[in-house]
Amino acid sequence: MSSKPFALTPGEPAGIGPDLCLLLAREQQAQPIIAIANCALLAQRAQLLGLNIQLISVTPDAFPEQPAPAGSQYVWDTPLGAPVTAGQLNPANAAYVLETLTRAGQGCMDGHFAGMITAPVHKGVINEGGVSFSGHTEFLAELTNTEQVVMMLATHGLRVALVTTHLPLKDVADAITPERLSRVTRILHNDLRDKFGISQPKILVCGLNPHAGEGGHLGHEEIDVIEPTLEQLRAEGINLIGPLPADTLFTPKHLEHCDAVLAMYHDQGLPVLKFKGFGAAVNITLGLPIIRTSVDHGTALDLAGSGNIDTGSLQVALQNAFAMAASQA
């Protein structure tokens, strides 16, 4: 395992991200984790939750190489823009949220961190704070000068990557071009190999249309775009099965020996994954020069400070980040 610490960003300060950091600190973790957060905010939230967590301030010139003891949390103190009340958004803290992400991402680029794990942000309040922000993925792509990234969600026994992400359904078919499909597939293949240590990844590919087009009777995208592109990629040595009908691909017969599924659009693949592992799934950004995993849920403002939250997704995000770092060591 890596001796470098991992960065943990708590996301929206009024949401459950700070709670997750503190609940995580109740037990010693397998690797050192540094919360990039405001110490006073964490202390305030710990008091609200009735948790006795020792906050240990650290700086980049002396990051620890050993995990914090149970009941304690390493913190790289980051200044807030305004005081925080659990459950109440404040645009004045937009810059704080982005600063935590910048410190984590740049720290990974500079070799201070082995990877970063992100708790949920609130896109709307960041934009209200005067910053154009479309999401973690786009922010980190720009920070690391990465042209193309791929969204993949994973849970125990299933990984699903997406060719298209947050598009209206009417725009999906036009967005699936040979160029895009090729780029996404290569990134998926390369990261399964390089970041997950799978020497010869096997990828199942969904068709776009019902029954994968049924020979052109239910759509021509498979014939015109998907099948020819997959053939070219197979010639490069990428192990691709498909395009297969999505309604039968997600069955044990097909999934038993595959390493990932490539879905054509968001709601083709993710409902299956979330049904299988909701609360224990992780969002992984592929294509970045750094390791980044994230929880698969939102800020849950109504639960902030209540103690009534599940750390399962964060635990899976940590486990995946640790495993990816170990495969690169």
In the annotated binding site for substrate, the residues are 136-137, 274, 283, 292
CB 155 within 8 A of CB 281: yes
Amino acid at 34: I
Total residue count of the chain as it appears in this document: 329
CB 228 within 8 A of CB 266: no
- SS3 assignment, position 306: coil
Give, rounded to a whole angstrom, the gap between the first and last alpha carbons of the chain: 7
- SS3 assignment, position 290: coil
CB 31 within 8 A of CB 67: yes
Amino acid at 118: T
Parallel, antiparallel, or unpaired for β 150-155 and 282-286? antiparallel
How far apart, in Å, are the Cα atoms of 212 and each of 105, 164, 182, 219, 263?
A: 39, 17, 18, 8, 12
How far apart, in Å, are the Cα atoms of 288 and each of 12, 108, 151, 196, 238?
A: 23, 11, 11, 14, 20
CB environment 71-107: b (16+ within 10 A), e (fewer): ebbbbbbbebbeebebbebbbebbbbbbbbbbbbbbb
Which residues fall within 8 angstroms of residue 171, CB to CB, at 6 or more apart? none
Query: Would you list which residues are annotated within the binding site for a divalent metal cation?
Result: 166, 211, 266
Q: What share of the chain is helix, strand, coil (3-state, %, to 5)?
A: 45, 20, 40
Phi/psi at 5 (nearest 5 deg)? -75, 165
Query: Would you list which residues are annotated within the binding site?
Result: 136-137, 166, 211, 266, 274, 283, 292
